[in-house]
A and B are shown apart, each in its own frame.
Chain A
Amino acid sequence: QSVLTQPPSVSGAPGQRVTISCTGSSSNIGAGYDVHWYQQLPGTAPKLLIYRNNNRPSGVPDRFSGSRSATSASLAITGLQAEDEADYYCQSSEVFGGGTKLTVL
C-alpha cells in the first residue's frame, strides 16, 4: 500500500478534461514537501511532467497542470489526446503514489 493514494484508473474521451488526485498525510504533502508528477508510457522510463506542484519542464504541453492543497495534490489534463494514455505517478519527498492508469476512450 503506497503512502500517497491515487485512483487506480481514470478515463476520458479525446478533447475532454481529466484530473488525477494524490492524497498524502502530515508526513509528506502536509509537512510542506512539494509534489511532482511523472508520466510513464508503456515499456519506458518515467518522464517528469510537473515539478514543485505546478511547474512544467521545457517541452511539456500546457495541457498539463498541477495544483496542491494541504495534504493532497491534483494533476489536470485538458484537451485529452490518444498519446496521453499512460500511467501517472505523484511523488512527495521520497515516496510515490501507487500510480493511475489513464485510458483515452
Chain B
Amino acid sequence: QVQLVQSGAEVKKPGSSVKVSCKASGDTFTNYAINWVRQAPGEGLEWMGGIVPVFGTTNYAQKFQGRVTITADESTSTAYMELSSLRSEDTAVYYCARTGRQLVLVGFFDYWGQGTLVTVSS
C-alpha cells in the first residue's frame, strides 16, 4: 500500500521560506510524479507544481513561478516543496499527491499525503 507521509506543521514569518517534505513508501518512487496542492482555510484546492523524479523534470503553476522549488531525493524516496518570500496569503494546508500514471507529470492523483499546515504570521 502506497503511503505519503509529510513533515509537521510550520509557523513562519513573512518574507521567510518554508520547506515541506513528503516521504513515499510502498511502491516505486522514481516513476511516479509527485505534485503539490495547497488549500487555504475554507478555500478550494490549488495546484502548485510537480516533479517526475526519474527525469528530474518539474512544472510549476504560473502563479508560483520564481517562488516555489520542487525537488526529489530518489535515495530516500522523498519529495520536497520549498516556498519563498512567504506572505500571510500563503497560510494553507499543503498536500503532496502522487500522479496515478507512470512517467506523467499531471493526471489524476491517486494517493495523497496527510497535509502540512503552514502558518505565516508576524
In the assembled complex, how far is the CB of residue B30 from the closest CB belonging to chain A, in whole angstroms?
21
Q: Kindly identify which residue among A48, A52, A95 contacts B47, using a CB–CB cutoff of 8 Å.
A: A95
Q: How far is the CA of A28 from the CA of B90 in the complex (A)?
A: 26
Q: B51 at interface (Cβ–Cβ under 8 A)?
A: no
Q: How far is the CA of A91 from the CA of B59 in the complex (A)?
A: 17
Q: Which of A18-39 touch B at CB < 8 Å?
A: 34, 36, 38
Q: B54 at interface (Cβ–Cβ under 8 A)?
A: no
In the assembled complex, how far is the CB of residue A1 from the closest CB belonging to chain B, in whole angstroms?
11
Q: Which of A43-57 touch B at CB < 8 Å?
A: 45-48, 51-52, 57
Q: Is the CB of A45 within 8 A of B113?
A: yes
Chain B residue nearest to A47 in the complex (CB): B112
Q: Kindly identify which residue among B45, B107, B114 contacts A89, using a CB–CB cutoff of 8 Å.
A: B45
Residues of A within 8 A of B59 (CB): 94
Q: B34 at interface (Cβ–Cβ under 8 A)?
A: no
Interface string of A87-105 (1 = CB under 8 A from B): 0010101111111000000
Knowing A45-B95, A45-B113, A45-B115, the reply to whether A97 touches B44 (Cβ < 8 A) is: yes
